[in-house]
Structure 1
Amino acid sequence: MSSKQYHCDTLVIGAGLAGIATALELLDLGRSVLLVDGAPRSQCGGQANDAFGGLLLCDTPEQRRNGVHDSPQLLLDDWLRSAAFAEEDLWGQRWAAAYAERNRADIYDWLRARGISFFPAVQWVERGNHGDGNSLPRYHVAWGCGRGIVQPLVRQLFEHSAAERLRSLFEHRVERLLQHNGAIVGCQGRGPDGDFSLAAEQVVLCSGGINGNLELVRRHWDPLYGPCPDNLLNGTDPRADGALHGEVQRLGGQVVRLGQMWNYAAGIAHPQPRFPAHGISLIPARSALWLDASGRRIGPQPLVTGFDTHDLCKRIGHLPGQYGWQLLNWRIAIKELAVSGTDANPLFRDRKLLRLLWQTLTGNQALVRELIDTCADVLAADSLEALAAQMAELAGDGRLDLAAMRTDIQRYDAMLARGPALHNDEQLRRLQQLRQWRSDRLRTCRFQAILDPKAGPLIAIRTRLISRKSMGGMLTDLQSRVLDAQGQPIRGLYAAGEAAGFGGGGISGIRSLEGTFLSNCIFNGRRAAQAIANRPTQ
């Protein structure tokens, strides 16, 4: 069978959020586009469809209504401190500065103009263990979650007034990039009817990262997190396999910092796995005690989510067995426990404000029951002895020490019983701090004892590291052009979104302020389109 051949002006490879934003901007600027993706049309939007939908933004109306006075300079200061860029990370630093200056106009205002709105309460995440993260609340959750961002953009793309300039090929996997006289001139791949080739004047890679490919993840694993775990979970579609990263390298482009990943420390087995080692990422309860494999409380600094995800991953990765236990009770769980993602948050997804407020006040009982009933890593029992027996059976490594676990839990509960004036525990100090911000106060218990007989049953959750996002990738300049070994743009080749490390081969450095992933898919993609259309960027 002969290869099918196509020609286009601009080829966008990947129909995730970065690809959609790129194609939409190109149409707006009068250009024609061919959008190619290996997934079916029904999955257009990619992983953004499943994301919780939080974006890091500054100087927004939502912040001001919450009494938060932010600025691009303050955001950049926080970003640079968290990122800890190496001296050679010049393009990552330049992208970070551009993001701080332009996120309001180029991301927030652009989304609002397209009918996308945000939950009125701004969340304060990644504060840093020592005040070295977000100095202010900046995490804006889109109404409708990730799907509430990407699906309106998908509709606007395919219903565009210039839709005759848009063509799309779904279920067509690109396997090879084509080069002629130093320029990228198209690609080859395989579709439902066989091989295809495609000639293009410009190619924009929006093909995602490497974190769905656990073999590549293991190859690039940073020992900062301990040895790559045998029990590592996969929270990313396996189609994000890094194949086109290899193609860019083959053709002389730079791919950098692949060891910099944004993984999570509270992964659990997916109740309905779609691929090997499939996991989901919890938003862990802050009032839970995080224990090691023996049942001892992790310390001396306890683990508390919401401050430094990078550090949580390091701590879990260096534990015996490379897993932990969150020990809590029903009252804590229904108040604080959540799961990241669109479908795990149906009231956010479906914009049910009154029901969401009621759930916040009364607890998310349905979610906790579902986790207990369906997830092998979530255990419940009426007594610590019975719970410990389940924990030991699940772990199967003989490490659990019931007496030691009981001692640490009782010590913590005894301190709570003395009252706030006599609290001397870093976790309690952090809980007190969390409760000062109104959005966190509604989702954080008031110093809840673990063994409180009125708050049962007891719950134990086995947590493992879960592979999620590539923070390194194809090195790009501020026009999203891929750079070669000499730092010069490869003619005709652009990259956006996770493929580009969300900008510059690693816009976030070693540590994200969170909410920088969906937003940079838009930011990178629009810049690529503007460069192709010869429109100056600010």
Structure 2
Amino acid sequence: MGSPKHYHADVVVAGGGIAGIVTALELLDYGKKVVLLDRDEERYFGGQAITAFGGMMIVGSPVQKRMGIKDTPELAFKDWCNTAGFSFEDVLPRQWAEMYCHRNLPDVYRWLRGRGVRFLPAVMWPERGFYGTGNSLPRYHIAWGTGYGFTSRLIENLMNHKNRRNLEIHFNHRVTGIETSGGAVCGLSGEVEGTGEPFEVKADVVVIAAGGLGGNLKKVRALWPKEMGKAPDDLFIGSHPFCDGAMQDMAEKLGGVLTNMGYMWNYPDGVTSANPRFPGYGLHVITPKSALWMDYRGRRFGPQPLIGYIDTTYVVARICGQEKPFSWHVMNWKIAARELALSGSDHNDAIRDKKFFTLLKNTLFGNHELVKRMVRECPDFITADTVQELAKKMNDLAGTDDIDAAGMEQDIRDYDAQIDRGVKFFNDDQLRRIAHSLRWSGDRVRTCKYQKILDPKAGPLLAIRYRMMTRKCLGGIRTDLHSRVVDRNDRPVEGLYAVGEAAGFGGGGINGKSSLEGTFIAPAILGGRIAARSISGERNP
């Protein structure tokens, strides 16, 4: 092994995801010399953000106002706290949440707009909560171009920056240690992936932007909260294997504090990918509201039926509270074509590639091509002409005889009978929530109007097997309102900052125990901007 490579900078940023990119971009604005390290290959520059759907919770935007939504930071913060379930120890996470609710419009939305990012002219309404504890109003703004679009735009801004000469970017660099001198952080050390060649970076400041631990399934299972049921043995990775929590552990060894680490934003609706980037990689289904969510036996969840897009944390807990922690969605082709979607930029090419007329066609007439592709390529998608045939195929896929075909058919017929009685007589919570969605234009365009499952004109029947999938870690390194890593007495660890998922998106857990959705990428942007200001000696407003 030869002598290590040596790099020198004012600031070294570890992680080339959205938080690291924003931090580096802002530091260049302040004239700082920056070394940006990323463990992945150059073609994956942008981390999880570049493959994300790209939704953000924004409060008081022009889009909201045009749609007649009267939102305020105070209402958003109230909703946030109701969902987060902050403990008395979550002082900094709560402060970060309040700061975000007040500053997302100028410091995220307008900042992105100023960098050339645009948003769809409609606001979505996810995570309303089953019991009125979610979003009181629609706040979910989707970037035109998805996460790929705005991340690519920020990378372009970075590469074409007037101070580009002050920036070095090194890929395939894995950090193995945070260096200190005289009680202060002074750089990083590590090795180059593939070759094992050592490197060292000398810098006055280190910014950890290396993500969370969602790619480390051993840690995910070990930290799984008891109230969330049993941690599944069979978990998809919706994060990345490099999100292993290693740099969070390094920060802890230097006196930093890790908080809320067991709380995750996991998805209950993961399916097999036909083209996995790495072993265990799964796809996230944006679940149809009009489909019936069934347990591992093929029986409808109740008495509170499970419905996608309403309360993800609740759904995860219900499914993992079963004897076998996986589930099924049963629907027909008409429902799937109108309502089913996949999350991420790779599966939303109409938005990613800004094809307006393709998006309009899919919205008005359904995305039949997506459903055909998933039936063809994904083993978790099953079609049949009858419930009995569907049940047999479900058992064959699971390798069990758990599916209760007669019980499943009865559940479906009971639901369809509710629809036959007419809207005035609906006494099913799923139908009431569908009625609520149909009143909001952002949801109405992709929601069927009280569609029966056994409608002979809407077939064939379709079942999807869902398994749990990791996505985002809600906890992280505790940081103050300047993005500085702090110890148990809230004193800064000199020279050390953390942003993005590494910091639980701010404060060590800005979302508490759950999320309103859209509260990951946007707080990562805010945290990166705050870190750059603090490092550069500018007052945090």
Q: Which amino acid aligns with 1:261?
A: M
Q: Is the 8 A contact 1:184 1:202 kept in 2?
A: yes
Q: Which amino acid aligns with 1:349?
A: R
1:315 is aligned to: 318
1:472-525 superposed Cα distances (whole Å, 9 cap, x missing partner): 000000100001122210000000000000000000111111001110110000
Q: Which of residues 473, 478, 481 is equivalent to 1:475?
A: 478
Q: 2:9 aligned with 1:39, yes or no?
A: no
Q: Which amino acid aligns with 1:535?
A: E
Deviation at 1:193, TM superposition (A): 6.5
1:435 is aligned to: 438
Q: Is the 8 A contact 2:230 2:325 kept in 1?
A: no
Q: 2:347 aligned with 1:344, yes or no?
A: yes
Aligned equivalents of 1:272, 1:150: Cα separation in 2: 22
What CA RMSD, in Å, does the superposition of the two structures yield over aligned residues? 1.0
Deviation at 1:376, TM superposition (A): 1.0
2:60 is aligned to: 59
Aligned equivalents of 2:63, 2:319: Cα separation in 1: 35
Aligned equivalents of 2:212, 2:163: Cα separation in 1: 30
Q: Which of residues 260, 263, 277 is equivalent to 1:274?
A: 277
Question: What is the TM-score with the length of structure 1 in the denominator?
Answer: 0.99
Q: Is the 8 A contact 1:292 1:320 kept in 2?
A: no
Q: 2:389 aligned with 1:386, yes or no?
A: yes
Q: Mind listing any 5+ residue stretches in structure 1 that lack a counterpart?
A: none
2:13 is aligned to: 12
Aligned equivalents of 2:281, 2:173: Cα separation in 1: 24
Deviation at 1:123, TM superposition (A): 0.5
Map 1:142-181 → 2, pairs under 5 A: 142-181=143-182
2:410 is aligned to: 407
Deviation at 1:86, TM superposition (A): 0.2
Q: Which amino acid aligns with 1:120?
A: P
Aligned equivalents of 1:72, 1:392: Cα separation in 2: 49
Q: Is the 8 A contact 2:383 2:390 kept in 1?
A: yes
Q: Is the 8 A contact 1:211 1:467 kept in 2?
A: yes
1:450 is aligned to: 453
Q: Mind listing any 5+ residue stretches in structure 2 that lack a counterpart?
A: none
Q: Is the 8 A contact 2:214 2:472 kept in 1?
A: yes
1:305 is aligned to: 308
Question: Between Structure 1 and Structure 2, how many residues are aligned?
Answer: 538
SS for the counterpart of 2:345 is coil
Q: Is the 8 A contact 1:123 1:140 kept in 2?
A: yes
SS for the counterpart of 1:229 is coil
SS for the counterpart of 1:48 is helix
Aligned equivalents of 2:143, 2:62: Cα separation in 1: 14
Q: 2:136 aligned with 1:135, yes or no?
A: yes
Q: Which of residues 229, 232, 237 is equivalent to 1:229?
A: 232
Q: Which amino acid aligns with 2:52?
A: A
Map 1:204-283 → 2, pairs under 5 A: 204-283=207-286
Q: 2:367 aligned with 1:367, yes or no?
A: no
Q: Which moved more, 1:249-258 or 1:187-196?
A: 187-196
1:194 is aligned to: 197
Deviation at 1:292, TM superposition (A): 1.0
Deviation at 1:457, TM superposition (A): 0.6
Aligned equivalents of 1:176, 1:298: Cα separation in 2: 47
1:230-258 superposed Cα distances (whole Å, 9 cap, x missing partner): 12211111011111111111111111111
Aligned equivalents of 2:199, 2:295: Cα separation in 1: 52
Aligned equivalents of 1:133, 1:214: Cα separation in 2: 28
Aligned equivalents of 2:275, 2:149: Cα separation in 1: 24
2:122 is aligned to: 121
Aligned equivalents of 1:359, 1:5: Cα separation in 2: 52
Q: Is the 8 A contact 2:270 2:466 kept in 1?
A: yes
Deviation at 1:43, TM superposition (A): 1.3
Q: Is the 8 A contact 1:296 1:404 kept in 2?
A: yes
Aligned equivalents of 1:423, 1:220: Cα separation in 2: 41
Q: Which moved more, 1:467-476 or 1:288-297?
A: 288-297
Aligned equivalents of 1:483, 1:295: Cα separation in 2: 49
Aligned equivalents of 1:160, 1:170: Cα separation in 2: 19
Deviation at 1:216, TM superposition (A): 1.0
Q: Which amino acid aligns with 1:393?
A: D
1:77 is aligned to: 78
Percent identity over the alignment is 47
Deviation at 1:34, TM superposition (A): 0.8
Q: Is the 8 A contact 1:316 1:464 kept in 2?
A: no
Aligned equivalents of 2:294, 2:196: Cα separation in 1: 53
Q: 2:41 aligned with 1:25, yes or no?
A: no
Q: Which amino acid aligns with 1:520?
A: P
1:207-233 superposed Cα distances (whole Å, 9 cap, x missing partner): 000001101111111121211101221
Deviation at 1:422, TM superposition (A): 1.7
1:88 is aligned to: 89
SS for the counterpart of 1:529 is helix
Aligned equivalents of 2:99, 2:420: Cα separation in 1: 50
Distance 1:326 1:193, change over 3 A: closer
SS for the counterpart of 1:119 is strand
Q: Which of residues 269, 289, 294 is equivalent to 1:291?
A: 294
1:251-297 superposed Cα distances (whole Å, 9 cap, x missing partner): 11111111011011111111222333221111001000011122111
SS for the counterpart of 2:288 is coil
1:183 is aligned to: 184
Q: Is the 8 A contact 1:72 1:100 kept in 2?
A: yes
Q: 2:515 aligned with 1:512, yes or no?
A: yes
Q: 2:522 aligned with 1:526, yes or no?
A: no
Q: Is the 8 A contact 1:291 1:326 kept in 2?
A: yes
1:164-186 superposed Cα distances (whole Å, 9 cap, x missing partner): 11111111111111112221111
SS for the counterpart of 2:31 is coil
Aligned equivalents of 2:80, 2:514: Cα separation in 1: 9
Q: Is the 8 A contact 2:335 2:451 kept in 1?
A: yes
Q: Is the 8 A contact 2:271 2:380 kept in 1?
A: yes
Q: Is the 8 A contact 1:316 1:322 kept in 2?
A: yes
Aligned equivalents of 1:493, 1:337: Cα separation in 2: 43
Q: Is the 8 A contact 2:186 2:495 kept in 1?
A: yes
